[in-house]
Amino acid sequence: MSYKISLGQSSASDAASLFQQQGALWIDQLFSRRFVQRLSKVYFRKYASLSQQELESRYACVGDQRYMITTEVKGKFNSPDLYANGHLMPILQELLGRHFVISSFGSVIAFPGAGAQSVHMDYPPLYEDESTCTSLPPHAITLVVPLVDLNEKTGSTSLWLGTHNRVGAREQLQKLVETGSRRESVFPSAKLGDAYLMDFRLTHAGMANQSEIARPILYIVYSRPWFDESLNFSEQPRINLSRKQYGKVPKALRYLFAGAAK
């Protein structure tokens, strides 16, 4: 079964149902290409130009020549068109309930020559019993917004569909870590404007960057309000949103940033 949808051809309910089955959802042209091009231009000027020494002193290294940056929610990044997309919000409400929040907001950049990332889940299981974990609805979902076109050269994210609710996925993950095999995975060859969602329980890994350009992706993690993602952020904040920038968030959407330090 495909995990890709096109806007206007799938209802929020159908999109949510597909996500629940696959643990991932690739949305064709969720954003306008021009909007993402503007984000990309700002990002490359502000972050991709930093030296390796600057990156290592400020941000977490999450693989070979790969850094997790808590992108400042400012300017073009402080836009409801990005974090509260009108097509996406109904899907998230179906999956996380009406009171979900933004748990973290940032980016991961893989520089030219970066090797493939180790296979992983984004967070440890909430419960020791695997059948309990896999039977529950999602508690956190990552939105990935590529800032360059993704293909076999630039790389993308290897996804093991269905592993979010499959008993035995933990054992499979251990084998994948040991072997490095990617045979059973798929990857979204997303273009600018496309985006994809991943269940926090899904097995995945960033691919190698074999191109001559940096590969940044934005991520926004949406979660149920009780979920605490701080375990992933021992070296930097989950969200970089100043009091001034918080004031620029529309009042009706400020609940999304309830967990941000202001």
Cβ-based burial of 105 (10 A; exposed 0-12, middle 13-18, buried ≥19): buried
Range of the domain at 248: 55-257
Inside any domain, residue 229: yes
Cα–Cα distance, 2 to 92 (Å, whole number): 19
Cα–Cα distance, 139 to 155 (Å, whole number): 27
Inside any domain, residue 6: no
**Total number of domains in the chain:** 1
> Domain of 89: which CATH number?
2.60.120.620
Inside any domain, residue 192: yes
Inside any domain, residue 7: no
Helices within the chain (DSSP H only) = 12-22, 33-43, 52-58, 80-83, 88-96, 130-135, 169-179, 243-246
Cα–Cα distance, 118 to 197 (Å, whole number): 20
Encode the chain (262 residues) as per-residue pLDDT tens digits.
Answer: 589 999 888 899 999 999 999 999 999 999 999 999 999 999 999 999 999 889 999 999 998 999 999 999 999 999 999 999 999 999 999 999 999 999 999 999 999 999 999 989 899 899 999 999 999 999 999 999 999 999 999 999 999 999 999 888 888 888 888 887 788 899 999 999 999 999 999 999 999 999 999 999 999 999 999 999 988 898 899 999 999 999 999 999 999 999 775 4
Q: Per-residue pLDDT tens for 171-225?
A: 888 888 888 778 889 999 999 999 999 999 999 999 999 999 999 999 999 999 9
Inside any domain, residue 118: yes
pLDDT at 262: 46
Inside any domain, residue 29: no
Kindly report the pTM of this predicted structure: 0.95
Inside any domain, residue 201: yes
Read off φ and ψ for residue 220, nearest 5 degrees: -130, 120
Read off φ and ψ for residue 192, nearest 5 degrees: -55, 130
Inside any domain, residue 14: no
pLDDT at 180: 75
Closest by CA position to 31, among listed 87, 78, 71: 87
